[in-house]
Structure 1
Amino acid sequence: MLAPDSRGRPYYRTMQAGGAGVGDLDRGAARTGSPPRDEVSEPTMLGFLRRNPRLLAIQAVVVAISMAVLVWRVDVLEALRRLDNVEPGWALGGMVLFTVSKGIHAYRWRVLLGRPDVPLRPLVSIFMVSNLVNALVPLRAGDLVRIELPSRLLKLPRAALASNVLFVESLFDGLAFLVLVAVAGFVLGEGVRELPGLTIFVAIVALAFVVLVFLARWELPSDPARSRLLVVVPDSARERAASLLAQLQEGMASLREVRHTIISLIISVAAWVAEVGVYWMMGRALGLELGLGEAIVLMIAANIVVSLPITPWDIGPFEVAVTEAFVLLGGDRVDGSSYAVGIHVLLLAWITVTGVIAMFTLNLRPREVLDRRRLQADEDPEA
Structure 2
Amino acid sequence: MKVSVILPTYNEAERIENTVNVVKRYLDDLGYDYEIIIAEDGSTDGTDEIARRLSENDSRIVHIHSDERLGRGKALTNAIKHAKGEIVAYIDVDLSTDIKHLKELFNSILEGYDVATGSRLIEGSETERPLKRDLASKVYNFLVRILLGSKLRDHQCGFKAFRRSSILPLLDKVRDNHWFWDTEILVLAQKEGLKVREFPVRWKQSEHTKVKLTKDVIYMFSQIVRMWMEQEKSKKFLISSIAISVFILVSLAYFSGFGLKDLMMVNPNLIVVSCLLYSSTFLIRGLRFEYILNKIGFKTSSIFSSEGVAISQMVNVVTPARIGDVVRAYVFKLREIPISSCISGLAVERIFDLFAVISLSLISICVLGGKTYLKTVLYATLIMFLILATIFMLSRMKNIIGKMSSEVKTALNRGFPVLILLSLLNWMMDVVTCYIISLPFNVNMFVVMLGVSIANIVKAFPITPGGIGTYEVAMTGTFVAFGLNPSNSFTIALIDHAIKNTVTLVVGYLSLAHLNVRMRDLT
Q: TM-score, normalised by structure 1?
A: 0.71
Q: Per residue, is there more helix in 1 or in 2? A: 1
- Determine helix, strand or coil for the equivalent of 1:154: coil
User: Aligned to 1:212, which of 380, 385, 391?
Assistant: 391
Cα deviation, residue 311, structure 1: 1.8
Q: Are 2:458 and 1:319 equivalent residues in the alignment? A: no
Whether the 8 Å CA contact 2:392–2:405 is kept in 1: the answer is no
The residue number in structure 1 matching 2:421 is: 266
Query: What's the CA shift string for 1:278-298, capped at 9, x where partnerless?
Result: 1111223xx223322112112
Supply the distance in 2 between the matched residues of 1:194 and 1:314 (Cα, whole angstroms).
Answer: 19
Match of 1:145 among 327, 332, 338: 327
Q: CA deviation at 1:150?
A: 0.2
User: How has the CA–CA distance of structure 1 residues 309 and 268 changed in structure 2, closer, same or farther, with 3 Å as cutoff?
Assistant: same
User: Can you list the C-alpha shifts for 1:106-130, whole angstroms capped at 9, x where unaligned?
Assistant: 2111222214732111110111111
2:410 corresponds in structure 1 to: 253
2:294 maps to 1:155 = no
Please say if residues 168 and 212 of structure 1, whose CA atoms lie closer than 8 Å, have aligned partners that are also in contact: no
The letter of the residue matching 1:342 is I
Q: Cα 1:116–1:274, aligned 2, differ >3 Å: closer, same or farther?
A: farther
Tell me the distance in 1 between the aligned counterparts of 2:516 and 2:179: 22
Verify the 8 A CA contact 1:161 1:251 in the aligned structure 2.
Answer: no
Aligned to 2:482: 329
Letter of the 1:205 counterpart:
M
Output aligned runs, 1:162-311, within 5 Å.
162-165=343-346, 167-188=347-368, 190-192=369-371, 194-216=373-395, 218=396, 224=398, 242-255=399-412, 257=413, 260-284=415-439, 287-311=440-464
C-alpha distance after superposition, 1:252-281 (max 9, x if no partner): 4212x3x53233222211211121111111
Q: Which letter maps to 2:345? A: N
Distance 1:164 1:40 in 2: 25
1:66-116 Cα deviation digits (max 9, x unpaired): 544443333478355533443222222212221222221221112222147
Q: What CA distance in whole angstroms lies between the structure 2 residues aligned with 1:273 and 1:34?
A: 47
Distance in 1 separating the partners of 2:435 and 2:359: 18
Change in Cα spacing, 1:357 to 1:34, as seen in structure 2 (3 Å) is: farther
SS at match of 2:462: coil
CA distance in 2 between counterparts of 1:330 and 1:77 reads 15
How far 1:345 moved relative to its partner?
Answer: 2.3
Cα RMSD over matched residues?
A: 3.0
Contact 2:434–2:492 (8 Å) recurs in 1? no
Aligned residue in 1 for 2:199: none
1:176–1:272 Cα contact (<8 Å) kept: yes
Unaligned runs of 5+ in 2: 1-67, 72-175, 181-219
Cα offset, 1:336, TM superposition:
0.7
In 2, Cα distance between equivalents of 1:65 and 1:243:
38
CA pair 290-35 structure 1, distance change in 2 beyond 3 A: farther
Superposed displacement of residue 247, structure 1: 4.0
Contact 2:380 2:457 in 1 (8 A): no
Structure number with the bigger relative contact order (C-alpha 8 A, sep ≥ 6) is 1
Greater strand proportion: 2
Contact 2:448 2:479 in 1 (8 A): no
1:9-34 CA-to-partner distances (Å, cap 9, x unmatched) read xxxxxxxxxxxxxxxxxxxxxxxx88
Q: Tell me, in whole angstroms, the C-alpha distance in 2 between the residues paired with 1:251 and 1:179.
A: 21
- Work out whether residues 112 and 253 of structure 1, in 8 Å CA contact, stay in contact via their aligned partners in 2: no
Contact kept, 8 Å, 1:157 with 1:247, in 2: the verdict is no
* Maintained 8 Å contact 1:80/1:341: no
Which SS does the other structure have where 2:258 is aligned? helix
Of 83-92 and 38-47, the range deviating more from structure 2: 38-47
Aligned to 1:18: none
Give 1:147 shift: 1.1
Tell me, in whole angstroms, the C-alpha distance in 2 between the residues paired with 1:248 and 1:337: 40
How far off is 1:196 after superposition?
A: 4.9
Deviation of the 1:324 alpha carbon? 0.9
Contact 1:59 1:310 in 2 (8 A): no
Cα drift, residue 49 of structure 1: 3.9
Q: 2:252 matched to which residue of 1?
A: 73
Please state whether the residue corresponding to 2:441 is helix, strand or coil.
Answer: coil
Answer whether contact 1:254 1:264 (CA < 8 A) is retained: no
Structure 1's 79 and 107: CA in aligned 2 closer, same or farther, altered over 3 A?
Answer: farther
The amino acid of 2:339's aligned partner reads: R
Q: State which structure, 1 or 2, has the greater radius of gyration over its C-alpha atoms.
A: 2
Work out whether residues 162 and 251 of structure 1, in 8 Å CA contact, stay in contact via their aligned partners in 2: no
Given that residues 63 and 310 in structure 1 are in contact (C-alpha distance below 8 angstroms), is that contact kept between their aligned partners in structure 2? no
Would the aligned equivalents of 2:391 and 2:408 in 1 still touch at CA under 8 Å? no
2-structure distance, mates of 1:160, 1:358: 22
2-structure distance, mates of 1:363, 1:77: 45
User: In structure 2, what is the equivalent of residue 122 of structure 1?
Assistant: 304
**1:7 corresponds to:** none
Percent identity over paired residues: 22
Contact 1:185 1:193 in 2 (8 A): no
Q: Where does the alignment leave 5 or more consecutive residues of structure 1 unmatched? A: 1-32, 225-241, 372-383
Kept in 1, the 8 Å contact 2:253–2:490? The answer is yes
Q: Secondary structure at the match of 2:418?
A: helix
Match of 2:228 among 45, 48, 52: 48
CA distance in 1 between partners of 2:507 and 2:276 (Å)? 10
What is the CA–CA distance in structure 2 between the aligned matches of 1:352 and 1:299, rounded to whole Å? 20
Displacement after TM superposition at 1:335 (Å): 0.6
Q: 1:35 to 1:365 in 2, by over 3 A?
A: same
- The separation in 1 between residues aligned to 2:318 and 2:481, in whole angstroms, is 30
Give the one of 103, 116, 119 matched to 2:283: 103
- Between the aligned partners of 1:112 and 1:192, the Cα distance in structure 2 is 35
* CA distance in structure 1 between the aligned counterparts of 2:436 and 2:409, rounded to whole angstroms: 35
Q: TM-score, normalised by structure 2?
A: 0.53
